[in-house]
Amino acid sequence: MNILVLDVGTSSMRGILFSEKGAELLSKRRPYQPDYMEGGFVEQDPHEWEAAMYEILRTISDEAKEQNIQIDAISITSQRSSMIPVDQDVRPLCRAIMWQDKRTAGICERLETENERIVRLCGARVNPVFSGVKMAWIREERPDVYEKTYKFLVVLDYLIYLLTGNLCTDYTYGSRSLLMNIHTCEWDEELLALFEVEKDKLCPLVEPGEICGNLSKHVADKTGCPQGIPVITAGGDQQCGAVGQGVVREGILSVTAGTGGFLLAATDKVPKGLKGDVICNHSAIKNQYILESSVLACSSAFDWFCRNFYENYTYEELNGIIEKVPAGANSVLCVPYFQGHAAPDWNSRARGVFSDITLYTKKEDMLRVLLEGICYEIANGIDVMKSYVEIQKVLVNGGLAGSEAFNAIQCDVYGMELARRGKTDATARGALMVALCACGSFKTVADAFETVGKQGEVRRYHPNPEHTKKYREYRAKMNELYRSVYVE
């Protein structure tokens, strides 16, 4: 059985055709970019995802036919909280409001007094990232659009509809809405009333790993993919990335350094006494949950710095520059909240700050401290995770994890051994494992990981105790700087 995985990221969509054993047979990538606008608005035209998906499916289908390779199913994993209102004919009524968008800050501030109740019901504090507040913003600021809205979709829902004609969303996306009860995995009447969103404007909820429908004749004719093959929702991209790394049981934590930085730790149940200092979401694995924390700007902040100060440098050249700067970046500090601060306080007013700059400071110091600041914030999240579950292993993945310099910094800042497995395609491999279980090739995702996941070289990193001690001091200084500037 060969599975075509669609991995729908923030800056590109990838299609990878995998064999049942996890061998990569064919691949195609289509880049795109959301539009970053004044006032923290971030939007994208939904038709860009539609065009990218059809181009990827058509290219891989053509190449598969040339090589006499069969496509047996399509599995989709996607960015999670970008929101698209659609009309009765499932046509977008406006551009998608992206997950990084900050226009809902006022609504979030107004609902802060309800956080204890919100956390108890859905496992997260009110925040501008999740899709429910975006729906509330549409209702308040664009009542004409809200009135015409038949369904609010996330990107996954939209693409599955285009492929199958069916509307549904899985628990991993529902748990990123502030509208789904994390205990029952149903749309919660109390939360719907609080955000003033009608239940009939939401898609039916299904478990991750469900077959959501079959490829329609229209799409088969358009792309060349076989009509009737199953289309599977594999769960959100961060959940799948965690599975692809091996987060298949409690006590394993993954750090994915992509556009944003995401920490996910597996847990068998919703922890008692959640304080809102961590997010509890549904896992891509049935009957499992994840604890999550995030840095909203990770590789996006690194890319921004390089565009402005290191244009046309290769990754290898940048690694060499970073490695020559001593740990601690000659005492420069960076508060890395270029898109605001996520859990625990969801401070959309926070910004990136470089501090302790002198006439001696060089741009290479600022490049390194940007990465160190990102790692300090990830380390803050790891400390919170440890208060709920015992962390036995840390796995790293994502675009920035391709940098040896960044991984060395991560290891020293966290003070723990890290492991990076094979290529940086864990998200797609996680979606593959979930789909193989849906199609009956494996009984559990853990079984699939034993066959599919444990491929490629495992690179291990060991902390330097002197660097860890130094970084602990600088992390405390960064946290104090953040509090002094942005916390009233």
Q: Which string of DSSP letters, residue by residue, matches 54-80?
A: HHHHHHHHHHHHHTT----EEEEEE-S
Q: pLDDT at position 456, please?
A: 67
What domains are defined for the chain?
A: 3-239 (3.30.420.40)
* DSSP calls for 350-394: --EEEES--TT--HHHHHHHHHHHHHHHHHHHHHHHHTTS---EE
- pLDDT > 70? residue 272: yes
- Output the average pLDDT for the chain: 94
Q: pLDDT at position 288, please?
A: 93
pTM of the model: 0.84
- At 488, the pLDDT band (50, 70, 90 cuts) reads low
- pLDDT > 80? residue 343: no
Which element (helix H / strand E) includes 477?
A: helix 465-486
Question: Treating both helix axes as pointing N-terminal to C-terminal, what angle do 315-324 and 363-386 enclose, rounded to 10 degrees?
Answer: 90
Nearest to 416 by CA among 471, 354, 343, 338: 471
What is the C-alpha separation between 271 and 388, in angstroms, rounded? 7
Enter the tokens of residue 176: 């990123």
What's the pLDDT tens digit per position in 301-315?
Answer: 999 999 999 999 998
What's the pLDDT tens digit per position in 368-409?
Answer: 999 999 999 999 999 999 999 999 889 988 788 889 999 999
Between the alpha carbon of residue 357 and those of residues 329, 365, 372, 432, the distances in Å are 11, 9, 15, 47
Helix or strand or coil: residue 84?
strand
> What is the mean pLDDT of the segment spanning 172-176?
97
Q: pLDDT at position 365, please?
A: 98
Enter the tokens of residue 309: 């100060």
What is the C-alpha separation between 169 and 458, in angstroms, rounded? 34
What's the pLDDT tens digit per position in 408-463?
Answer: 999 999 999 999 876 668 899 999 999 999 999 999 999 999 888 776 678 899 99
Q: Which has more pLDDT, 423 or 121?
A: 121
Q: pLDDT at position 251, please?
A: 85
**310 exposure class (CB count in 10 Å sphere: 0-12, 13-18, 19+):** middle
